[in-house]
């Protein structure tokens, strides 16, 4: 649990740092910071979906549960790719919405196959900071 929190919180450094640069950095760095923020946000969105692939493998999901878990696990990556096709402000907003939607799905799956309690708390913290960073970076 400690390692997950440590690496999870460390993963917020690019969100916060790039958001800062996108809004308050030198003018020539701001567009680049937004692009880097969008790329990082897309990677993290795909990663959040991949958690469900790993969960399905670990639990040995079969039948309908397997189709649901594996099928959902690729949706965030597809959403991130889709989002990257638009102007940068919209990209950042779509990625923020995607991360919030992923959290909602995680909470729904929590009723079926619970994650450890610390995992949901971690997801809440990480999603909140990441989504707010993406939204702030879009301004």
CA-based Rg of the chain, rounded to a whole angstrom? 16
Question: pLDDT tens track of the chain, all 139 residues?
Answer: 999 999 999 999 999 999 999 999 999 999 999 999 999 999 999 999 999 999 889 888 788 888 988 999 999 999 999 999 999 999 999 999 999 999 999 999 888 888 898 999 999 999 999 999 999 999 9
Residue 48 is part of which domain span?
2-137
Q: What is the count of structural domains for the chain?
A: 1
Q: Which residues contact 25 (CB under 8 A, 6 or more apart)?
A: 33
How far apart CA 79 and CA 65 sit, in angstroms, is: 22
């Amino acid at each position: 649990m400690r390692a997950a929190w440590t690496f999870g919180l460390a993963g917020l450094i690019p969100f916060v740092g790039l958001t800062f640069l996108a809004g308050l950095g030198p003018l020539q760095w701001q567009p680049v910071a937004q692009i880097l923020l969008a790329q990082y946000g897309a990677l993290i969105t795909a990663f959040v979906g991949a958690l469900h692939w790993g969960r399905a493998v670990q639990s040995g999901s079969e039948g309908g549960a397997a189709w649901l878990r594996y099928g959902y696990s690729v949706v965030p990556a597809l959403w991130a790719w889709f989002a990257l096709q638009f102007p940068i402000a919209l990209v950042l907003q779509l990625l923020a919405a995607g991360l919030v939607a992923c959290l909602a799905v995680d909470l729904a799956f929590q009723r079926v196959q619970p994650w450890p309690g610390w995992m949901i708390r971690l997801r809440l913290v990480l999603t909140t900071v990441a989504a707010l960073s993406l939204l702030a970076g879009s301004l």
